Structure 1
């Protein structure tokens, strides 16, 4: 990771973790003393060891000590909490809190002035309709603040308007003289080589331009906390499902029963709007218990929903949770789904996460009406003790 302060400050080593970095803002003062006068017997004279000499030495050291900084970093932390949520709205960020010569870098973009930085923001607004979510802001060095964020964008120039997702941290360098931000360096979670210009970063953008067909139906609400090269981490809000016993992850056993419930085969013959995706859930690795589920509209609650007509059906509230998600296209056969689940679980363990037992398959499309190469399928695994650090 790199933070640029100004030419008079030490530049950090690229790739060094922000929590481990320390900055030296002033070079240690060099104190030059003339050779001491020595008496003929090789000893210092009284003039060189007396109180006046010691007082003069202390004064010299005091004059060369760096002045104490009056920088209030907590004030800047509070400012970013208030200002950054306006990054892409009509209000925009407060440019007066940035040096004119501010150094902006991300894996595929660089600017060295506040004007260039604001131009980049305006371009993203025009082309991608970005949504910015700020997760935290904290001080990570004497003249450094780190933010963690999620940015979700839709590329409006392509007919299918693909969704591009980036998560990461921004290292904000502070100029202690102006008490303004003099640098902004973005590091993406999805790539290893974050230095400008990153071919890996460009490829990460390009691969997100592919087509996934997501029906224009209501889905469970979630917030994307992190996106790596292999998976996303989402925070789901609570939702309600109607479910029946299934046979396997890729199977359709029980689907007619749960679909019948929302089409009016319930105690009040109420027709309930269709949602997406259809979930199949395995509660353990051996698939000893599998259920098939349809998510019910978010405005519904258990007390207002009609009772099922069949004993095989049940209504259940799914509590909010943190979930890791691997997205893929094509026909989700049982072998493919199990391989995807194994790959996701292996990646999570490799990254130090604690995946829970069992998994979900989310199928967003009608297989009879959707080309397989644009189908959107997802394997989901719950996580224990996830933190944003």
Structure 2
């Protein structure tokens, strides 16, 4: 059985960079004030708790992909980690998280530029691919909106040659 992913349409393909249009989605999110690697782990743990029954209805919710993260500030170790909820659920249908750190919201990524890469999404590799994406965005005379996001599609046990990651940023 395939893991559900958010719906999007590829608007334009520029070699290694795609321009996509995403449909609105419901997310479960948490903010973590830690280093990149620690924030990934802690954020995942918090939201996994929610989808595996840590909610007011003790309801399990299917895992989707990717897990998305973004740094909220350039000079602070503040990260937002989010899971996209299955399409079958409107926000009003979802149970409330037990943990105060986990929030539900409707999110619209709209139009984004995306670059894909394999292996581990380490802080150094993420920074490298962010630079590559930013360079290509500038070459295409596009403007980025907000901070870059990291999308990780695989379980922590997937071997590096089989991993699929993306860097995304909203554009106008």
Q: Which whole-Å deviations, capped at 9, do the CAs of 1:141-191 have from their partners, x for residues lacking one?
A: xxxxxxxxxxxxxxxxxxxxxxxxxxxxxxxxxxxxxxxxxxxxxxxxxxx
Structure 1 residue 303, shift from structure 2 partner:
1.1
TM-score (norm 2): 0.92
Match of 1:311 among 92, 100, 110: 100
Aligned residues: 169
Q: Please tell me whether Structure 1 or Structure 2 has the larger radius of gyration of its CA atoms.
A: 1
Structure 1: gaps of 5 or more residues = 1-214, 385-389
Structure 1 residue 248, shift from structure 2 partner:
4.5
Structure 1 residue 298, shift from structure 2 partner:
0.8
Structure 2: gaps of 5 or more residues = none
Partner of 2:164: 376
Tell which has more relative contact order, 1 or 2 (C-alpha 8 A, sep 6+). Answer: 2
- Deviation above 6 Å: which 4+ runs of structure 1? none
The answer to whether structure 1 residue 297 and structure 2 residue 93 are counterparts is: no
Partner of 1:100: none
Q: Which whole-Å deviations, capped at 9, do the CAs of 1:253-301 have from their partners, x for residues lacking one?
A: 2211100111111001111111111111223433553111111011211
Structure 1 residue 249, shift from structure 2 partner:
4.6
SS of alignment partner, residue 303 of structure 1: helix
Check whether the contact 1:283–1:359 (CA below 8 A) recurs between aligned residues: no
Distance in 1, Cα, partners of 2:140 & 2:35: 28
Q: Name the structure where strand makes up a greater proportion of residues.
A: 2
- RMSD between superposed Cα atoms in Å: 1.6
SS of alignment partner, residue 101 of structure 2: coil
Structure 1 residue 332, shift from structure 2 partner:
1.1
SS of alignment partner, residue 168 of structure 2: strand
| C-alpha distance 287-328 of structure 1, shift in aligned 2 (>3 A) | farther
SS of alignment partner, residue 344 of structure 1: helix
Check whether the contact 2:35–2:77 (CA below 8 A) recurs between aligned residues: no
TM-score (norm 1): 0.42
